[in-house]
Chain A
Amino acid sequence: MLLFSVSVSAQKPQGKGKKQTADSVAVANKEKGKGKAEEKKEKKRSNEDGKKEGKAAKDTLEIPADTLATVEEVTEEVKAGEEEGKGNAYGKNKGDLKGKEFGQARAQEAKMNKEQKKKELEESLTEAEEKVIKGKAKVAEAREKLEKEKKEKKIKDADYQTRKQKIDDTEKAVLELEEKVKAEKQKKVQE
Chain B
Amino acid sequence: MSEKILYSFSAIFDSPDQVSHAAEKVVELGYTKFDVHSPYPLHGMDSAMKLPPSKLGYVALVFGLSGMIGTLLSLWWVSAIDYPIVIGGKPLFSFPAYIPIVFEITVLSASIATVLAMLFVFFKLPNNSHPLHGTEYMKKVSSDKYGISIQAEDPKFDEASVRKLFESLQAREIYSIYWDNEELTHKHKIFEPKFITFLFVVAIISSGTAYFTLNKLMYMIPFNWMMDQPKQSAQQKSLVFSDGFGMRQPVAGTVARGFMPYEFKGQPDVAGEKLVNPIPISKESLKLGQVKFDIYCSPCHGYHAEGDSRLRGQFPNPPSLHSEKVRSWSDGRIFAVLTEGQNIMPSYATQLSVDERWAVINYLRVLQRALNAKETDLQ
Partners in one complex: no
